[in-house]
Chains A and B, each alone.
Chain A
């Protein structure tokens, strides 16, 4: 597997010599504490360099959410009636639901009527080739380091780029089509492959699943769609890049990945957003269907704007991700979550078929005033099903990090196995880490193991590294990256390198 994204594609460019120019911290105790707040501000600000917004000519619906809004979205997208009805049903369900309050999160009230539910960059409606992409959008992605020009792309990654609510381009379509792989925006899939969408949409995450999933089902605007036919190993990594650009808009993408019998696919998603003072809502739904012996590997590196030190601004990342694994199928979630003001996210696997496998590997970093309540759910239904959960939570600044996970073994799941390991790393005195595992076992043959640890980066570790010539910042990021090793090892190689850089950048200023 070879992927060669340009190095800054996840918002992690600020490394290298630039990164090293930070004044070395003095060894004298107390001196580190007296670094001017200006210096600290510089570090903190420098660490989110994707905070720019692009002045795109955008088509935005007026704020507010009513049945008419849902109809407007559906009409804008020229959707078939069944889909409009599906949305309306979801909207009705949502109206009768309340926001979940069980997570260990402090969420400022969200005024759903103050948001705009449709924002699309205005551009030529039909793209004959990549050259037709609006130059301003192309520039924006260039700035982010994501090449949308197929001829400029050396990499073996097909990219679907989504700005605000709309997919602006999908690359490498032709190459994929040869293999029979469909990779396109969700809207296109609705037009071109309605039968596939209709069969699977909501089959893993039903509209009433939860408050945010219901909201998404009513107003989702776009997202990515992948279909891998029977026996096909997808010839390249599939990747979706999400960018929130407009102000006061929610982003509600919908992703659906279907791997037929014996199909294989590895899918990557990356996210950034401009730096803004108000919170922005991102409520996505991802559904994965892995048929018999199929394998889906889904990797996320999430770097939405986290807000500032005082908790002003930042993305509310309320996401529902779930996969259904049929007989002998395998679904693997890997996530590196460093951004967002609030993360509420529990990628899950329904282990439906016998011998199916579910995996969850997670690194979640909470710094500044970030709050993360994240984990996984593994639902064992089939016999001899196996799941593993490796969660690494890092808290610094005044960040709060909660692992919340459910392992459920149904009566039918003979010989189910789960191994869960939750490690927390605390880097400051004002941060918090919490581990909340739920285990429900209805079959006595199940073996469920849970291990948890909490540690700090030892002074002695930092000192050891510094005696070997490393700066305190470099030492810290090396030690923290070591802590995350098992998760990074699961990422495709280039992504792992980016994830490490991202983590290092996110940690800048958290030493001392």
Chain B
């Protein structure tokens, strides 16, 4: 479904990603782990088409070249980013925002738009998934939301947009255990053979609730290792020290685990 080859990204002339390869099959859940500043968020934004990035290499979703498209076209192609730092939009009603978002991608795909009444049903269902209070929809987008509410709002949006590929960037950071479980349950219920999920995280904690098919280690702008979920436990215990400043092929001290698909 997602094929990324030799992806490089520089910001203002500074290289951040250098030769990143990643392939995610339909219905799979992958985790990307890596130290702070290793380029995890940059990877998400490079795929989403954020302004100001110089990009090399290729990235396709269902065979379609993502890198040639505007951000909104990438969204319409089925790419969804759960933002590490969700953005506040004062005065814009959350429900209106969600409906506009959904109808924008539907329109781009040549599908019929959803009216306010039908949308309410869609939104209600999605809200239950992430256990949100009703008043949530009538507040301004992320404005004055707590950290946890913002993250839940991202999952709510994902549940409404029903993307082909969701890339969740540190959706677990700053959440207490209850919120973490709610989010994990939300993501799990959205797992389907048609949908792939990439979870960017620091901690294997979330991966106890959402079991990934493959875990990748991103260090120095590249995927330096991939394995099954036990890799996450290994990282939790040993940190990234063994991957930093080493040739990934000779990364020592770790038992071999499964391989990337």
Chain A residues with a Cβ under 8 A of chain B? 20, 24-27, 29, 458-461, 463-472, 474, 478-479, 481-486
Among candidates B73, B88, B101, residue contacting A468 with C-beta atoms closer than 8 Å = B101
Looking at the assembled complex, report how far the CB atom of A15 sits from the nearest CB atom of chain B, in whole angstroms. 13
Shortest distance between the CB of B56 and any CB in chain A (Å): 14
Say whether, besides A29-B52, A469-B108, A474-B104, A485 and B91 are in contact (CB < 8 Å): yes
| A470 and B104 in contact, given A458-B87, A461-B89, A485-B91 (Cβ under 8 angstroms) | yes
The chain B residue sitting closest to A457, CB to CB, is: B89
Quote the shortest CB–CB distance from B190 to chain A (angstroms): 16
Knowing A27-B49, A469-B101, A470-B104, say if A484 contacts B72 (CB, 8 Å). no
7 A-B pairs with C-beta separation under 8 A = A460-B87, A463-B50, A463-B71, A465-B89, A467-B72, A468-B157, A471-B72
- The reply to whether A461 and B104 form a contact with Cβ atoms under 8 Å apart is no
Known: A26-B70, A471-B104. A463 touches B91 (CB 8 A): no
Residue from B91, B104, B105 in contact with A482 in the complex, judged by beta carbons closer than 8 Å: B91
The CA of A461 and the CA of B48, in the complex, are separated in Å by 14
CA distance A467 to B48 in the complex (A): 7
Q: Which of B87, B100, B140 contacts A470 (CB 8 A)?
A: B100
> For B89, what are the chain A residues with a Cβ–Cβ distance below 8 Å?
461, 464-465, 478-479, 482
A410 to B25, CA, bound (A): 74
A24 near B100: Cβ-Cβ < 8 Å: no
- Chain B contacts with A in 213-250, Cβ cutoff 8 A: none
Judged by a CB distance under 8 angstroms, whether B200 is at the interface is no
Q: Which of A459, A469, A484 contacts B75 (CB 8 A)?
A: A469
Residues of B within 8 A of A472 (CB): 72
**Of A25, A463, A474, A482, the contact of B90 (CB 8 Å cutoff):** A482
How far apart are A71's CB and chain B's nearest CB, in angstroms? 52
- B100 in complex: contacting residue of A467, A478, A484, CB < 8 Å: A478
A24 to B71, CA, bound (A): 10
Contact indicator B90/A483 (Cβ below 8 Å): yes
A382–B233 Cα distance when bound, in Å, is: 73
Q: Which residue of A lies closest to B76 (CB)?
A: A469
The interface residues of chain A, by DSSP majority, are classed as helix
Tell me the minimal C-beta distance from B247 to chain A in angstroms: 35
B83 proximal to A (CB < 8 A)? yes
Give Cα distance in the complex from A471 to B107, angstroms: 11
- In the complex, what's the smallest C-beta–C-beta distance from B131 to chain A, in angstroms? 22
Complex Cα spacing A26 to B97, Å: 22
Task: Assess the B92–A478 pair: CB atoms within 8 A.
Answer: yes
Min Cβ gap B29→A in Å is 21
A210 smallest CB distance to B (angstroms):
34
Which residues of B sit under 8 angstroms from A468, Cβ to Cβ? 75, 97, 101, 104-105, 157, 161
Q: Which residues of B contact A467 (CB under 8 A)?
A: 48, 71-72, 74-75, 80-81, 83
B15 interface residue (CB < 8 Å to A): no
How far apart are A463's CB and chain B's nearest CB, in angstroms? 6
Chain B residues near A484: list those with CB within 8 A: 91
* CA of A470 to CA of B71, assembled, Å: 9
Structural contact, B51 and A459, CB atoms closer than 8 A: yes
- With most chain B CB atoms within 10 A of its CB, the pick from A24, A25, A466, A467 is A467
Known: A468-B75, A469-B76. A474 touches B87 (CB 8 A): no
Query: Cβ of A478: which chain B residues have Cβ within 8 Å of it?
Result: 89, 92, 97, 100
B101–chain A nearest beta-carbon distance, Å: 4
Indicate the member of B48, B70, B108 with the most A CB atoms within 10 Å. B70
Q: A7: shortest Cβ distance to chain B, in Å?
A: 17
Whether a CB of chain A sits under 8 angstroms from the CB of B19 is no
Interface residues of B in 95-129 (CB under 8 A from A): 97, 100-102, 104-105, 107-108
A27 — which chain B residues lie within 8 A by C-beta?
49-51, 69-71
Task: Name the 4 nearest CB pairs between A and B, nearest first.
Answer: A482-B91, A485-B91, A482-B92, A468-B101
| A481 x B51 contact (CB < 8 A) | no
Q: Which residues does chain A contribute within 8 Å of B70, judged by CB atoms?
A: 24-27, 466
B86 at the interface (CB under 8 A from A): yes
CB distance from A292 to the nearest CB of B (A): 36
Distance between Cα atoms of A458 and B142 in the complex (Å): 15
Contact call B86/A464, Cβ cutoff below 8 A:
yes
Which of these, A459, A470, A482, contacts B101 with CB under 8 Å? A470
By the criterion CB–CB under 8 Å, are B92 and A469 in contact?
Answer: no
Cβ of A474: which chain B residues have Cβ within 8 Å of it? Answer: 100, 104
Cα distance A292–B87 when bound, in Å?
47
A481 / chain B contacts, CB cutoff of 8 Å: 91-92
Q: Tell which of A469, A478, A481 has the most Cβ of chain B within 10 Å.
A: A469
State whether A479 and B51 are in contact (beta carbons under 8 Å apart), knowing that A470-B72, A470-B101 are contacts in the complex.
no
Beta-carbon nearest neighbor of A463 in chain B: B50
Distance, CA A26 to CA B89, complexed state (A): 23
Bound-state CA distance A24–B76 (Å) is: 13
- Besides A463-B87, A466-B72, A474-B100, 4 new A-B residue pairs in contact (Cβ under 8 A), listed by A number: A25-B70, A464-B86, A474-B104, A482-B92
For the complex, give the distance between the alpha carbons of A248 and B52 in Å. 50
Q: Please name all residues of chain B whose beta carbon is closer than 8 Å to the beta carbon of A461 when the two chains form the complex.
A: 87-89
A482 touches B140 (CB 8 A): yes
**Alpha-carbon distance between A463 and B71 when the two chains are bound, in angstroms:** 8
Residue in contact with A464 in the complex, picked from B69, B80, B83, CB distance below 8 Å: B83
Complex CA–CA separation, A411 to B74 (angstroms): 63
Residues of chain A within 8 A of B76, CB atoms compared: 469
How near does chain A come to B99, taking the closest CB pair, in angstroms?
Answer: 11
Residues on B with C-beta less than 8 A from A29 are 51-52
Which residues of chain B have C-beta atoms less than 8 A from A26's C-beta? 70
**List of B residues within 8 angstroms of A479 by Cβ:** 89, 92
How far does the alpha carbon of A459 sit from the alpha carbon of B88 in the complex, in Å?
12
Bound-state CA distance A29–B161 (Å) is 27
Q: Which residue of A lies closest to B73 (CB)?
A: A24
Cβ contacts under 8 Å, A464 to chain B: 83, 86-87, 89
User: In the assembly, what is the distance between CA of A1 and CA of B48, in Å?
Assistant: 45
Q: Using a CB-CB cutoff of 8 Å, which residues 49-84 of chain B contact chain A?
A: 49-52, 69-76, 80-81, 83
Q: Which of B72, B87, B89, B140 has the most CB of A within 10 A?
A: B72
